[in-house]
Amino acid sequence: MRWDFGRRSQNVEDRRGRGGMGGTVIGGGIGTILLAIVVTLLGGDPSVILQQAASGGSGRQTDVTSPEAERQVEFTKVVLADTEDVWSEVFREEGIPYRKPTLVLFSGRDQSACGTADRAAGPFYCPLDEKVYLDLSFFRDLATEMQAPGDFAQAYVVAHEVGHHVQKQLGILDKVHGLQSRVSKTQSNQLSVRLELQADCFAGVWANRSQDRQNNLVLEQGDLEEGLRAASSVGDDRLQMQAQGYVVPESFNHGSSEQRMRWFRQGVKTGDPGQCDTFNASKL
């Protein structure tokens, strides 16, 4: 992927080094996420594991001011800018203004309107403040521990979280969250899976339209395959198998690796958000 000359988004808050970590990232990572999944399945409180990772951990540190870190910041700004351009165009086609989200870069730990943003929990979107929260060290974990390297794999992560912002603007997120408060845990998980798969599809829509436009980003051979590997690497079945050696489908809240790849591919193939209706799909 070529991106160096792309437009940088101005909707980025760089809070790295201002949190409880004093400018370093300590511990955490996908290993912590997997352990937290096991604790959750056993009926425990995963926040205990996540808090321990944020406050102590293995001692591994990352310099948030290194040249590589700064390059990742610039890359993330370009990806965010490209999502802004694509979704502004999509919304304009429907006669709706697109309200751009803010991306918050933090190191270790930060606060969002939805609660604590924790490195160990991974990137997330908070609908209460309409911000995406990302510790850039997640990209290292994605490449090494989750075996999904590449700049487009990282771009997929950002595009997926922006997909949740699109859901927020379309009223989907609030409607689903309202439904989840009135149904069983299993049904709530099923709704979460449909939300996540739709965000994957929206990420694919962005990839399709970005490829056509090639303004901020220029996609190269192999980029889309990197995105598919990233989608596969965060499937519930794969994470559970790594964590505990077996899979509990009724506990899925993001979708299987196959489902995540299929819906991302659906968005890439069609470039049409109307083809991302996971809530009325007969097959996920």
Q: Which domain holds residue 64?
A: 12-275
**pLDDT for 61 beyond 70:** no
- Could you tell me if 88 and 165 are in contact, meaning their C-beta atoms sit under 8 angstroms apart? no
Residues 66-77: pLDDT tens digits?
888 899 999 999
- Could you tell me if 81 and 9 are in contact, meaning their C-beta atoms sit under 8 angstroms apart? yes
**pLDDT for 23 beyond 70:** no
Stretch 79-83: mean pLDDT: 96
* 3-state SS, residue 109: strand
Task: Judge whether 7 lies within some domain.
Answer: no
Task: Judge whether 1 lies within some domain.
Answer: no
Task: Judge whether 3 lies within some domain.
Answer: no
Task: Judge whether 225 lies within some domain.
Answer: yes
Stretch 233-257: mean pLDDT: 81
Task: Judge whether 75 lies within some domain.
Answer: yes
Tally of domains in the chain = 1
C-alpha span between 39 and 83 (Å, rounded): 35
- Could you tell me if 16 and 62 are in contact, meaning their C-beta atoms sit under 8 angstroms apart? no
Lowest mean pLDDT, pick from 35-44, 131-140, 163-172, 244-253: 35-44
**pLDDT for 26 beyond 70:** no
Q: What is the pTM of this model?
A: 0.82
Task: Judge whether 82 lies within some domain.
Answer: yes
C-alpha span between 274 and 138 (Å, rounded): 31
End-to-end CA distance of the chain: 30
Task: Judge whether 2 lies within some domain.
Answer: no
Task: Judge whether 280 lies within some domain.
Answer: no
